[in-house]
Chain A
Amino acid sequence: MKVELEADKCVASGQCVLAAMDVFDQDDDGIAVLLEETPGPELLDDVREAVAVCPAAAIRLVEQ
C-alpha cells in the first residue's frame, strides 16, 4: 500500500501526526510531510486512521 499526500490541500491541523507519527510529520508552517510513502503492514491501521481524521481529505491510501 502506498500513501498519497496532497500537501496543497493540507490545513496544518496535525491530525495525521497524532494518528500516525511514524508516517507523518509537519514542517514549520504545520504542513504535513510524508515520512514513509510505503509503510509496513504494522502501520496501516494508523494510516487509515489518519486518512479518516484528516480534515482536508488530503491523504489517500492506495493499492500498489
Chain B
Amino acid sequence: MNRIVVVGASAAGLAAVETLRREGYDGTLTLVGDEPLAPYDRPPLSKQLLASEWEPERLDLRPADDLAALGLDLRLGVAATGLELAERTVRLADGSEVPYDGLIVATGVRPRRLPGEGAHVLRTLDDALTLRDRLGPGLRLVVVGAGFLGAEAAAVAWRLGAKVTLLEPAPVPMAHAVGTEVGAMLTAAHVERGVDLRCGTGVSEVTEDGVRLADGQVIEADEVLVAIGSLPNTEWLEGSGLSVGDGVVCDEYCEAARNVYAAGDVARWYNPLFGTSMRIEHRTNAAEQGMAAARNLLRPAGRKPFAPVPYFWSDQYDMKIQAYGYLRGHDEVAVVDGDLSERRFVAAYRTGDRVTGALAVGMPPKAIRTWRQAIAAGAAWDEAVRTEASPTGA
C-alpha cells in the first residue's frame, strides 16, 4: 500500500494519519479537509471559545511542527465531491482526482437547520466566532434544541448576561439519551437561573424577528441558535457504491468496502460489545475510531473489531456531566451512588440484563471508572448493581 487518502481533517482524520505514520506507513498520505484550517478541536466551541475564555489558537489539535513532521500531502479548504470505488480515486472540489490504495472516510456531520434565514448553528470555528461576537448583556437569544450542544451554549450565553429562551420539542430534554429523571435534573439547572425553558415546543421556522412556533406563535429574538442535531456528510459518496444509511455503513472493523474504512461522526459501524450498529458523535470516539480504522487498513491480517465503550462529557454552569457506554434505548436507570437532588451522583443504565451505561455528575473519577469497567466487561445488571452500588444509593 503506497497511497492512502484520509478525507476529513478533524479529530478522526488526524488520529488516522498520525496512527498510520506511527505504525510505520511511509507512503504518500493525503489529508483532505473542507475547512481551510489545520485540525482543531470542536468541543471548546460551545464552551471556552464561546465564552471568550480561549482564543482560536488554543484549539489547534497539534503544533504546526508536529503536523509538518507527518509529511502529509495536505489539501485544506477543498471538499471531496466524489468517490470512484472501481478506479480507486477521490474527486475534489478543485477538479483534481486523488488515487488511493487505501481510503479512510472521516467527513463528519453538519448541523441540521430549520427553514428560514439568519439563524446561527454551531459546528465550525467560524460558526462559534460569529455567535460569540453577538453574545453579551441584554441580548435576547433563542436557542432551538435543548440537547447537550444547545444546553452548553445556553449556559454560556446566560453567564454572559444574555436573556436566553431555550425551546425543546420533547417533554423532557435529553430524555431519550439519559432518561427522564436525569434529563429533568439537568434541565432544572437552566430554569433556576432564569433561562426561559419551554418544553414540548416545536419550532417551524426562523423569521426576521425570531422564530415561529409550530402553533403559529412568534418568539422575538435578537439572535437565534439552532441546535437540533446533525446530519452525516455522505452526499459526496452518492452513487459510489458504498452503503450509506445515517452514516457510512461499516462492519465491526470499520470497513465499508475493500480497503475503504470510515471513522468518527460519519461512521455507522457494528459495535460487538453492545451487539448493535451505532454512529457516535463524541470527541473521544473520533480519535479512537480514527486509530482503529488506520490500524485495520494497514494490517488486515491482524485487524481487530472496534469495540469501544463510548464516552462523552458536557459542561453546563457548574456541572460537569460525564457518561460512559451506550445509553440510548435503555430499559432502566438507577441512581447507584450519591444523590440526584444534590447533583452529585452516578446513574447506571440497564439494557436487557446488562449494564450498558453510566452517567455521573460531580463525582470523583474513581466512582465512575468502576462502572466503565462493568460496561466494558458486559457485566450482568443484578450483580453489578448489588456489588457496586453504595448503601446510600437510591
Q: Which residues of A does B touch, CB under 8 Å? A: 9, 11-15, 17-18, 26, 28-30, 48, 52-57, 60
From A32, which residue of chain B is reached at the shortest CB distance?
A: B365
Asked if A48 and B284 make an inter-chain contact with CB atoms under 8 angstroms apart, the answer reads: no
B12-56 residues at the A interface, CB under 8 angstroms: 15, 18-19, 22, 41, 43
CB distance from A17 to the nearest CB of B (A): 8
Residue in A9, A11, A48, A57 whose CB lies within 8 Å of B62 = A57
Which residues from chain A contact B41 at a C-beta distance below 8 Å? 55-57
Interface of B is mostly: helix
Residue in A26, A28, A29, A53 whose CB lies within 8 Å of B284 = A53
Which residues from chain B contact A12 at a C-beta distance below 8 Å? 313, 320, 322, 365
From B287, which residue of chain A is reached at the shortest CB distance?
A: A53
Q: Does B364 contact A (CB under 8 A)?
A: yes
Asked if A26 and B365 make an inter-chain contact with CB atoms under 8 angstroms apart, the answer reads: yes
Q: Does B311 contact A (CB under 8 A)?
A: yes
B-side interface residues, number (CB < 8 Å)? 26
13 sampled A-B residue pairs with Cβ under 8 A: A11-B313, A12-B313, A13-B284, A17-B365, A30-B364, A30-B365, A52-B19, A53-B287, A53-B291, A54-B287, A55-B41, A55-B284, A57-B60
Q: Known A13-B313, A13-B322, A15-B311; judge A52-B284 contact (CB<8 A).
A: no
Residue in A11, A14, A15, A53 whose CB lies within 8 Å of B43 = A11
Across the A-B interface, the 4 shortest Cβ-Cβ residue pairs? A26-B365, A55-B283, A30-B365, A55-B284
Which residues from chain A contact B61 at a C-beta distance below 8 Å? 57
CB distance from B292 to the nearest CB of A (A): 11
Q: Does B288 contact A (CB under 8 A)?
A: yes
CB distance from A10 to the nearest CB of B (A): 11
Asked if B15 and A28 make an inter-chain contact with CB atoms under 8 angstroms apart, the answer reads: no
Asked if B311 and A13 make an inter-chain contact with CB atoms under 8 angstroms apart, the answer reads: yes
Residue in B18, B58, B284 whose CB lies within 8 Å of A15 = B284
Q: Does B159 contact A (CB under 8 A)?
A: no
Which residues from chain B contact A55 at a C-beta distance below 8 Å? 11, 41, 43, 283-284, 287, 313
